[in-house]
Amino acid sequence: MAETTPTPGGWRVYAREIRFLAIFVAILGGGFTLLSLNAVNDAVIVPFTAGVARASGAVLRAIDPAVTMEGTVIRSPAFAVNIENGCNGVEAMIIFLAAVLAFPARWTARLAGLAIGVVAIQAVNLVRVVALFLTGVHFPGFFDSSHTVVWQTVVILAAVLLWIFWAHRFAAAPPAAAGAE
């Protein structure tokens, strides 16, 4: 008669998922707590956001040479927008970072995922800022709903889908159950 290993019951069946969720929530909470600190905002987020504005402004200036930038403000004769927290992709990056770091994978896979993910999220955010600016110039009546409903959803969804792709494609497969072949 073959000896079988008892299967854990109750919540222990989901220990791996609970561990992922606990680490994810802890990192997410820590990340958003850091964002709320004035010192972090002033030293890190404001310069980062200015960089997002410069990159977006450079793309927009290639489309319309009348576009100018000052700090986090992008302006044309027809429209102006100020890139602020929430519009810089940082929240989406924190969600992605928390998910990647919490997921059971090799550190090399995590670091590669983080590097690629940050670049991809910022690429999506660049498209977002440029599209929103052009919406403001050409379809100002749609700017507010496009900003708050469409593009915020797109950036967060991109981060989540990127994590799912990374976890499925590049993260290590879960270890096989003891005794299973």
Here the tokens at position 173 are 């497969």
3-class secondary structure per residue, 112-144: HHHHHHHHHHHHHHHHHHHHHHHHHHHCHHHHH
Say whether pLDDT at 132 is over 90: yes
> For the chain, which residues make up each domain, given as ranges?
14-169
Instruction: Enumerate helices (H) and strands (E) in the chain, giving the number of each.
Output: 7, 3
Tell me the C-alpha distance between 106 and 110, whole Å: 6
- pLDDT per residue as tens digits for the range 147-181: 999 999 999 999 999 999 999 987 765 555 444 44
Q: Does the predicted model carry a pTM greater than 0.75?
A: yes
- Kindly report the average pLDDT of the chain as a whole number: 90
User: What span, in angstroms and rounded, lies between the C-alpha atoms of 49 and 70?
Assistant: 12
What gap in Å lies between CA 60 and CA 78, rounded to an integer?
Answer: 13
For residue 180, what pLDDT is reported? Answer: 42
The predicted structure's pLDDT at residue 14: 86
β-strands 68-70, 73-75 pairing: antiparallel
pLDDT of amino acid 169? 85
- Confidence (pLDDT) at 173: 57
42-75 pLDDT, tens digit each: 999 999 999 999 999 999 999 999 999 998 999 9
